[in-house]
Amino acid sequence: MARPQQTFDIVAEMVANVMRVAVSPGDRVREGDAVVLLESMKMEIPVLTEAAGTVSAVRVSAGDVVQEGDILVTVTL
């Protein structure tokens, strides 16, 4: 019997501009990898993944403005 896939969302912790997206769907990530680079108040903030897995969805693009709680990337464990 197939094990159900588990996913988790990586979310923005603040209002910010998306400077760069470092992953694409299908990419493998390790715990601590930077997946998105945000900019807020002239500070660059790397957004890191909390677990290893495969990127299943990227929900933002460079130039987007995100709000606190917006989903940036979804990872399948």
| Residues 76, 6 contacting (CB under 8 angstroms) | yes
Maximum CA pair distance of the chain? 50
What is the number of alpha carbons within 13 Å of residue 55 lying toward its C-beta? 24
Assign a CATH topology to domain 7-76.
Answer: OB fold (Dihydrolipoamide Acetyltransferase, E2P) (2.40.50)
Q: What is the pLDDT of residues 2-60, one digit of tens each?
A: 666 899 999 999 999 999 999 999 999 999 999 999 999 999 999 999 999 999 999 99
Domain ranges of the chain: 7-76
Using pLDDT thresholds of 50, 70 and 90, give the confidence band for residue 1. low
Average pLDDT over residues 57-74: 98
Using pLDDT thresholds of 50, 70 and 90, give the confidence band for residue 62. very high
